[in-house]
Structure 1
Amino acid sequence: METIAFIMANLPVIGQRMLEHVSLVAVSVGVAILTGVPTGIAITQSKRAADLVLYIASIIITIPSIALFGLLIPLLSIIGHGIGYLPAVIALILYAQLPIIRNTYTAIMNVDPALREAARGMGMTTLERLRRVELPLALPVILNGVRSAVVLNIAIAAIATYIGAGGLGTFISRGISQTDIRQLLTGAIAVSLLAILADYGLLFAQRLLTSPGLKLK
């Protein structure tokens, strides 16, 4: 009951922290899509490049978030942004790369070769085949990678509060430092609900964007 009373009394602050959290995740995943999808497409041309890129992305995602934030602080301090929004967004972009690149690569590689040959036989160029055949078929798998990246970043963004990035993690850090179970539960519940809502929202978008023919398979 105390936690519910705390939530009701602090709804404006929770809303503000929620917006900060959503901003961190939206910007980082947006940039990760703009970089990860083209990278995933590009490495389909070389098995060696694919192995190297996926290996590096796999290493990055295993780095503890606190450690990565710590590594970015001295690097970005050179330009006066050692703590706060920028290092948090950069770290989240790096964490989002693996699921997006891997799913894009896997989806493109799994397109039926017969469909590529048919498109080639129709006189399509490589870019036309990619835009009109391969990407529409790969879209559901790519969106699955985006969903994974979003849920992952929502969780990791909670830790970004320790470098002054704000977000819902503020309640968790204060709850721990002040031994206040109300704030701790508020932060944990809010992060969990945000992750669930984002996951189901993206699942709905994925179903809308998937072509009817693929839904029947």
Structure 2
Amino acid sequence: MSNSSSITQFLLLAFTDTRELQLLHFWLFLGIYLGALLGNGLIITTIACDQHLHTPMYFFLLNLSLLDLGSISTTVPKAMANSLWNTRAISDTGCAAQLFLFVFYLSAEFFLLTVMAYDRYIAICKPLHYGTLLGSRACVHMAAAAWGTGLLYSVLHTATTFSLPLCQGNSVEQFFCELPQILKLSCSDAYLRELKLLVFTLNLRTFPAVIRGRLRGEDTTASFGFPLS
């Protein structure tokens, strides 16, 4: 029986074994990746430079673009490099880092989308209270809560996953290190620990309601540059 401590690298899933198709995959994903970099980069630059866009909605959109850049940069470059160099290997440290960053960006994006939905709810249903409930300080606090909760969520899952004994080899059935695929390599009773963690982290997903309740009575007019419209 193998153990996670004896595994020094993982083997990622290859899209194809044909060299021509591997190169095609590289160039195709390179174009998609550069397009994502350009699109999100333009959004970030435009919002940062245009004073008219310093509003809560665009502030959250800027954060969303940063998270999108992070998530795609965590997985796609390694997949492209593997196709270009005709390899499947990723080190155990690299796999842990990739899993940590992917879960972090993905979960933070989920929480931020929840905050953005609350922003639109206030703008549509309570426009007269919009400036009070979504001032600059409130926006910064909610964005920071989304990033921080995503970080906590990722730390818990990554630490738990890589503390499990791995008994099913080191072949990952995905082109990046994904949480469910790593769990498939663990021993049969290891799922119980991850299940307990999943139940615990479900409580983290209630954070927007908690923050919303605390922000209602708070003075949120600190300066971040947002006009309160």
Judge same fold: TM > 0.5, yes or no. Answer: no
Q: Structure 2 length normalisation: TM-score? A: 0.38
The one of the two structures with greater contact order (alpha-carbon pairs below 8 A, sep at least 6) is: 2
Higher helix share: 1
